[in-house]
Amino acid sequence: MLRRALPLGLWLFVVGHLYSAPFAHWTAVNPLLPLGTWLRTVAYGNGVYVAAGSGIVVSTNGTAWTLVDGVAGGSAVVFADGKFVVVGSQNAGVSTNGVDWTVATVPKTDFEWITYGAGLFAAETIYIEPGNVFDPLPHVFHTIMTSPDGLHWKWAWGVWDMERRVSWGKIAYGNGTFVASAGGAEVISHDGILWKIPDQPCCAPGGVIFGNGVFVAQQNGTIVTSLDGLSWTEQYAAAPSGFGFARGIFGAVGDGGAILTSPDGTNWTQHASGSIGSLFAFTGGDQGFVAVGMEAEIVESPDGEHWTSRGTLTSTGLSGVAFDGHTFVALGGNYYNRVWQPDTVVTSNDGRSWQVSSSGRRHYLTDLAWAQGKFVAVGLQFPTDPTNMSNGAILTSTNGLNWTDPPAVPATDLRAVTFGNGQFMAVGSGILTSTDGVEWTPQNVAALGLSGVGPISSVAYGNGLFMITVLTNILTSPDGISWTKRASIDGLGNSSHAISFGAGRFAVVGQRRTNALSAHGAMWTSSDGDVWTVAGEISGPTLGHVSFGNGVFLGFGSSYTLAVHIPGQAWITVPQAPAALLSAFAYGEGTFIGVGGGGAILRSDNFVQGILNGHSRDPGHFEVQMFGELGRDYRLQVSDELRPVTWTDRLSFTASTPLTNFIDSVDGSHRFYRLAAP
């Protein structure tokens, strides 16, 4: 028996936004760290890895990472003198374990990088002197500050640079010398206090690191080495964005998931990291090596040669998701740095644990559908001719892991796919139909009378009709051959963006214009394509995607707004929706899964257990809203006391709609409610 107990004290329980609770709480499955986290720097000490960027995350093994609550991030971190020191915008922090931090404010200063040597922490900084009544423009100086403890900082001498306005990039200490470099400007110091510019400055923004008796830096696309920071020797053609040194090994990382290692700074070996994102920093510890970067990217290796992504399952944008009754399958593709990457497929049996794979093709996959015992995915095929981007891609799979190409795909890019009336339909710059997902027949698009208006962006099937959208045009067909243009949707702006079907009606999302100056994202519904009703609007300018599951339409729009339409019952907007650009939703195993940009995978609360919400209507009545899975039996139980607790059935019902309302008559000061699913 499943029970979701929720005590609702009438004298204290208040609901700020009616019906919002089930859709306001989402768990980020991917990235494994909170959405929007980016990591710029990483260090190891006292048995802990600490990475910093937009936040601070810690790990004891390089595999499982935790975000440190209540602490701002930083631009650089170092471990020295028995402690971590992290520096950022007008602040510096010190910690011995990466979790508990002492923070100091350093006004007017943005720290760039940090190192330790000669008993001092030395950090590159940008100092901003505000304007005044006589000189209103602020002055920006690039300089270096030092600190004996990481909390109390003072300016170094000889390195104030206002004319060039270049950031120093990175700083290192070794062989009795500090070296700071970036953008052709290099400064050195033997004590961290007095600094000078050498006669032949070196290095590019990749920065500088010291280890094994040698400085390693990057200059004009080449890794260079030096013993004294003055005379540099070219060693290897590469342009990394960051260096590190740990456990006797140099690491260089950069765009496209690039990782190189070297024992001496001279001989370098490139490794496959499993990432195509931008990596910024490298370190090592007792458990192995770690590199970090954008989109919460964390890759780790036990030996510096074999690497595994840990911070994110994938950074590839996911554009489609489907559920076959047992398995969620989500997919997408990536065109990175003018190179077509292998497409990405992720699968899960429960929506919590996911497996990353690929079809083995270089496709940009956009949508998929499940029917007749198989997944059918569509998209754009890697072009053998770079000037021709109109090759369609179609793949089929029975399990989401092993994929098969059909014998031939007509030359058309594909945007969406659905199933109905015994056949699959794929749409884009053309219309293809298939009874088995293998043999495809092109239909006569010219007969639609829509020449020159753009590709077909979305397709759905319901009530015996296929429905497609092309800009503001809505068309229906019983068979994919004969099409009828339907009435225009009143108020629809420049275009409709997506269409779905459920609960006996179609839903279209897009932009609604009430006048020339006002536009809002909106959803319209219709049972036949002729008569359309506005289901609701959001405050943002558009709704871009819509999906259906468990009796609910879910739309996602600008400003990260989630719109929920329960036909005949409620329109819900959730401004606190997860901060990810979502492209599609699927329902299964009692939960909604949303996928989108940057490889985002989000999981909603579980509807099988049931979700309670409520508010006081007046002194004698309390309204309870119960969200559950369609067709499942539930019991609403009450108790006037928790100690001792005695639960009594107040209402028994089968969820025929996602939302069931119950108004309870009360005469006491408080009452507790719970929902049981026998």
pLDDT of residue 12: 29
Instruction: Tell me how far apart the alpha carbons of residues 502 and 470 are, in angstroms, rounded to a whole number.
Output: 20
Average pLDDT over residues 588-607: 86
What are the chain's domains?
2-23+608-677 (2.60.40), 32-309 (2.130.10.10), 318-604 (2.120.10.80)
Q: Cα(188)–Cα(195) distance, rounded to whole angstroms?
A: 6
Polymer length of the chain = 678
Token code pair at residue 405: 């190409």
Query: What was the pLDDT predicted at 163?
Result: 40
* Euclidean distance between CA atoms 208 and 611, whole angstroms: 54
Side by side, which strands form the sheet with 222-226? 208-211, 214-219, 222-226, 233-237
Whether residue 591 has pLDDT greater than 60: yes
- Taking the complete model, does pTM exceed 0.75, yes or no? no
173, 114 Cβ separation under 8 angstroms = no
- Characterize 426-463 residue by residue with b for buried, 16 or more Cβ atoms within 10 angstroms of its Cβ, and e for exposed: bbbebbbbbeebbebeebebeebebeeeebbbbbbbbe
The pair of three-digit structure tokens given for residue 79, joined into one six-digit string: 């471990």
Q: Is the pLDDT of residue 608 over 50?
A: yes
Nearest alpha-carbon partner for 312 in 34, 527, 512: 34
The predicted pLDDT at position 592 comes to 92
Under the banding of pLDDT at 50, 70 and 90, the label for residue 2 is very low
Cα–Cα–Cα angle for 175, 178, 183, rounded to 5 degrees: 125
Q: Is 447 helix (H, G, I), strand (E, B) or coil?
A: helix
Reduced to 3 states (helix: H, G, I; strand: E, B; else coil), residue 213 is: coil
Mean pLDDT, the chain, as a whole number? 82
466 confidence band (pLDDT: 50, 70, 90)? very high
Whose structure tokens read 């092109």?
442
Mention every residue, 6+ apart, whose C-beta is less than 8 A from residue 343: 316, 331, 332, 333, 334, 358, 359, 361, 362, 363, 364, 365, 379
Q: Which two tokens stand for residue 210?
A: 């010291």
Contact 583, 623 (CB under 8 A): no
Mean pLDDT over residues 531-539, rounded? 89
What tens digit of pLDDT does each residue of 294-303 get?
766 788 899 9
21, containing H or E segment: helix 21-24
Spatial contact of 477 and 466, defined as CB atoms under 8 Å apart: yes
Q: Does residue 493 register a pLDDT over 70?
A: no
β-strand partners of 376: 369, 396
pLDDT reported for residue 198? 73
Residues with Cβ within 8 Å of residue 608, at least 6 apart in sequence: 2, 589, 590, 628, 629, 632, 677
Which tops the pLDDT comparison, 99 or 340?
Answer: 99
CB 347 within 8 A of CB 329: yes
Q: What's the whole-number mean pLDDT along residues 42-58? A: 91
CA 128, 132, 136 angle in degrees (round to 5)? 80
Residue 270 CB-half CA count within 13 A: 10
Q: Which two tokens stand for residue 66?
A: 């935790």
Exposure string of 26-51, with b = 16+ CB inside 10 Å and e = fewer, is: bebbbbbbebbbbbbbbbbbeebbbb
Q: 76-90, 327-341, 553-567: which has the minimum mean pLDDT?
A: 327-341
> Looking at the DSSP assignment, which residues form a beta bridge with residue 210?
215
pLDDT band of 3, cuts 50, 70, 90: very low
Q: How confident is residue 517, by pLDDT bands cut at 50, 70 and 90?
A: confident
Q: How many CB atoms lie within 10 A of CB 628?
A: 27
166-219 pLDDT, tens digit each: 444 578 888 998 888 754 557 788 888 888 777 666 654 457 899 999 999 888
pLDDT (tens digit per residue) in 87-113: 998 899 999 999 999 999 988 888 888
Pairwise CA distance, residues 457 & 466, whole Å? 13
pLDDT at 385: 54
Q: What is the pLDDT of residue 94?
A: 96
Q: How far apart are CA 358 and CA 403, in angstroms?
A: 9
